[in-house]
Structure 1
Amino acid sequence: MLAQLVFFILLLFLLGKFAWGPLMDMMKKREDHIASEIETAEKSRNEAEKASKEAAEELKRTRQEAHSIIEEAKKVGQKQEKDIIESARKEAERLKETAQQDIIQEKEKAIQALQDQVASLSVQIASKVIEKELNASDQEKLINEYIKEVGDKR
């Protein structure tokens, strides 16, 4: 029994020296390797989260910039629309006033032409009727005065 005890102790010593030590070293290396992998994975996860947050913030800023650009474009478009409408309105007013002035001028020309024709016809008729009691210039003067009086009464 003593021999078995000695062999058992010797076996424990040999196992401790040659098997247990390398096995524990290998387990320690494996534990260190797993810990470093976990640490690396944690760092990668943190970096990924940070990158994700930065990308989300950049996307948010980009959306805000795009929104502000769109709003500015809308404002510019509305201003241009108002300017175009105002310009068209002013041009229409100007054309209307020009047309009214042209109508008044044409009306005055037509009235003057009509007065001239009436005066001329009146002179011719009067000259035939009166048979030269008055000269032509006096008759035309009298007729023009009469036409002006009639025109003023209108």
Structure 2
Amino acid sequence: MSFNWESTVFTLIAFIILYILLNKYAFKPLFSVMEKRKELVMGQLRDAEDNRKQASELLNEQKAALQEARKDAYEIIEQAKSTGSKQADDLIATAKSESNRLKDEAIRDIESEKNKAVAALRSQVSGMSVMIASKIIEKQIDEKSQEQLVGQYLKEVGDKA
């Protein structure tokens, strides 16, 4: 095997020319596209990282908001329970007050009716007493009258006899 310088030089020159042409027309646009692609991928990675951070922040905010909502709901429930208990106590107090008022009113009505009944009874008793007294007086008058009549009759009979 013999070494041919001319073909080596020619191959080298052809390779250099091919390299220059490829570099000018193929590698630069290819490297440019690859650089743009690299920048695009890097930008997307930065955006993805930013989005991940935002999502993490939003998740933490949502957790905090959910915790706050649970706390508010618990407070509302407790407030509703206390309000309901207070309203129940108020209703019971109102009912007791109303029942006491009705009881007092009933007692006053009963007392009033009792007083009316006692007054009516007194009126009737006094009327009956007057009637009884008048009957007794009538009887006494009748008995006296009878005694007088009997006495007069006896006297008249005694005078006639």
With the length of structure 1 as denominator, give the TM-score of the two structures.
Answer: 0.69
* Pairing partner for 2:44 from 23, 37, 40: 37
Q: For the aligned residues, what is the CA RMSD?
A: 2.5
Q: Cα deviations across residues 3-46 of structure 1 (Å, max 9, x unaligned)?
A: 22332344334434543344333322221221111111221232
In structure 2, C-alpha distance between the alignment counterparts of 1:29 and 1:113, rounded to whole Å: 119
Within a 5 Å distance, the mapping from 1:66-81 to structure 2 comes to 66-81=73-88
| Higher RCO, 1 vs 2 (CA within 8 Å, ≥6 residues apart) | 1
- Which shows bigger deviation, 124-133 or 73-82? 124-133
1:89 aligned residue: 96
Give unmatched runs, 5+ long, in structure 2.
Answer: 1-6, 141-161
Q: Cα deviations across residues 87-132 of structure 1 (Å, max 9, x unaligned)?
A: 1111111211221232123223212321221222122222332349
List, as ranges, runs of 4+ consecutive aligned residues in structure 1 with deviation greater than 6 Å.
none
In structure 1, C-alpha distance between the alignment counterparts of 2:138 and 2:86, rounded to whole Å: 76
Larger of the two Rg values belongs to structure: 2
Q: Does structure 1 residue 106 correspond to structure 2 residue 113?
A: yes
Query: Could you tell me the percent identity over the aligned residues?
Result: 42
1:57 aligned residue: 64
Count of equivalent residues: 133
